[in-house]
Amino acid sequence: MPKIVDHAARRAEVIDGACDLIASRGISGFTVRELARAVDASTGVVSHYFRSKQELLTLTYDAVNDRIRSRVEACLARDPTDVEGSLAAMLPQDAAGLRDWRVLFAYWGASVGDELLSGEQQRRARLARKRIRRTLERLGEQGRLAAGVDPAAEAYRLLALTQGVATQTVFDPQSWPAPRQRLLLSEAVAGILAQGPAAGQSTLRRSAS
């Protein structure tokens, strides 16, 4: 009998292999030949699942973003007001998250001078800020935001902070373990909640001890 191939699983395996290669070599060092070798397949098999190298790269980028978004959405499904948790879900807090962020950085670098990729980065940033703003608005509706906090402006700041923490972690993971990443988010969120920074700081001291 002919071997039954799970094409969806095989396609996902190829994309996962592409993530590994891009995370370690960047986009400029990525080749279909190396990918085929990594996933124990021929270049013909890889080409069977993807019409072009560009399609493979695009779907790999989408897969990484989908994983991060799924973590964020799972957090908000549990608690639509969990701004700190949803931001933390974006961070590279483990090996898999660090790999995903290395892939993102590879694409961000490639977007310089590329109008289409640059536009995609802008679109995704806007969506992330919109999600953060809506989470903050829910907190405000419950009276849990400090007076004068502007959810729209705060969404810019919190996204920039989260991406900044991720950047530091990608380039110096030993100095940025998950607890340190979370601590910066906790400090930022504590400062905008209705109980004020003092209450937030006492929570931080308990978390850090």
Residue 1 pLDDT: 46
Q: What is the CATH number of domain 7-208?
A: 1.10.357.10
| Phi-psi label, residue 143: left if phi above 0, alpha if psi -120 to 50, beta otherwise | left
Q: Considering only CA atoms, which of 92, 34, 36 is closest in space to residue 64?
A: 92
175-194 average pLDDT score? 96
Locate the domains of the chain by residue range: 7-208
Check residues 39 and 69 and name the one with the higher pLDDT.
69
Residue owning tokens 């209450």: 199
Confidence of residue 200 (pLDDT cuts 50, 70, 90): very low
pLDDT tens digits for 97-108?
999 999 999 999
Q: What is the 3-state secondary structure (H, E, C) of 13-31?
A: HHHHHHHHHHHHHCCCCCC
Residue 50's SS3 state is: coil
Are 181 and 169 contacting, i.e. CB atoms less than 8 angstroms apart? Answer: yes
Using one digit for the tens of pLDDT, what is the confidence trace for 46-80?
888 888 888 999 999 999 999 999 999 999 999 99
47 against 160, higher pLDDT: 160
Task: Work out the pLDDT band at 205, boundaries 50, 70, 90.
Answer: very low
Please indicate, yes or no, whether the overall pTM of this predicted structure exceeds 0.75: yes
Residue-wise pLDDT tens digits, 4-23:
556 788 888 899 999 999 99
Of residues 71 and 197, which shows the higher confidence score?
71
